[in-house]
Amino acid sequence: MKFLKLSIFLLSVILVKCEKFRFDNYTLYKIFPESEIQVKLLENLQNDIRFDFWTDPVPSAEFVLVMSSPADTNELVTFLETNNMKSEITMSNVQEHIDKQTVKQYTRSNVRSMTWDAYYTLDDIYAWLDDLVTAYPDIVTEIIGGGSYEGREIKGIKISHGSGKRIIFVEGGIHSREWISPSSVCYIISELLTSEDPETMVAARDYDWYIFPVTNPDGYIWTHESVRLSDKDSKNRRPFGSEFGVDLNRNWNNNWLVAGASANPATDTYAGPGPFSEPETRSLSNYISSIGDQIDLYLSFHSFSQMLLVPYGNTTEHLDNYYDVVNIGRRAMGALSVRYQTQYVTGNIAETIYHATGGSVDWVKGHLRVPLVYCYELRDRGAFGFLLPTYQILPNNEETMDSVLEIIHQAKRFGYMNSSAGLTGSIVMMFGLMLAYFL
């Protein structure tokens, strides 16, 4: 997930005039590398700050998405032609697709006015969470998972129908230009509180849900108010000289800076000056640690590529309970595909997408030993990428909720997520099977 380098002058104009930067006539190319040499050439081009790589040039990539400004398009085309690379234009004017991403205002004190045909600002999401606490005082509690560099709260809610239950933890919006992520998380909240589907109601009642729609609030505001797509869009807003931001999903203390991360503040995958150097990751990790021994399922939401990823990002080895986790995930993706025939790929991060370390899911799995940990890369596979149209929000969210319920269902079948911890649940299941055999 790569980002476009804007000049210091341009950023200063945006900040002074409070105007949104426009991407008129910016072009998104889909490039089809056909050899290791072409992949390597694209890797070298990725170091050119003028081009925004929406996907990474890795050997397994079917295609690579690259956005170019009008001023640099001829040079990109020349590069492609010189190196005999096949390509096609996916978006001829990126701004047209940005304009189609409707941002709606939430109507206060009417929790059902949060709908799934538009995106929402941070203020509106937080206002909705506040109203849910008021509307469901016996079930919903406000929780604060930490704070941001610019002093904003990482706000979430706890949904609980009684104390002493095991926890499902959900986080979204750590990469802030991935707007479909907070929308999906908000939809899960809505379903848990309003759905009359029996399976959803059971899931809501059987577990305590800790849910944070936006874990990078500063960055999310930046993409709404200043630059929808920039090299700052998915990082936080901490300054480093003339540069801004740390990739918060490279800043967690698990194999920090080992792979798929950078020590250069000018890059999009800058991992920060040290593990947990950022207030967002440091405070959120402390909060998660405080309840870590009660978490049975951890879900992190990103976009795009239609993948369900499991730890780890530093190795393709099948560690811990890999086979159980992947089997559960594949069944869940089967359930996801039923409604709209959307296809996902399931596997560990390194083998499925690329080597990348310092992410939240690896830390939760490796440090807290949570039995079931998944990272969603939501719709789509590159037709719209980060600019998923509003007409796809509801279908995306519906199928995602279908898969979350199936994860829970399959986790119970595999002996996880019973009334006790995953390990105890497995022992109970094995004891029952032995008893049935001898009887």
Q: Are strands 345-348 and 372-378 parallel, antiparallel or unpaired?
A: unpaired
Contacts of 412-419 spanning 24+ positions with Cβ under 8 A: 414/324, 414/327, 414/328, 416/296, 416/297, 416/324, 416/328, 416/371, 416/372, 417/166, 417/207, 417/296, 417/297, 417/372, 419/166
| Cβ neighbours of 61 (radius 10 Å) | 17
Q: How far apart are CA 140 and CA 157, in angstroms?
A: 6
Are 411 and 402 contacting, i.e. CB atoms less than 8 angstroms apart? no
- Active-site positions? 377
Rg (the chain; Cα; Å): 22
Q: How far apart are CA 395 and CA 397, in angstroms?
A: 5
Q: Is 141 helix (H, G, I), strand (E, B) or coil?
A: strand
304 upstream amide cis, omega within 30 of 0: yes
Q: How far apart are CA 368 and CA 24, in angstroms?
A: 46
Q: Residue 255 corresponds to which tokens in the numbers above?
A: 């194999």
The gap between the terminal CA atoms of the chain, to the nearest Å, is 55
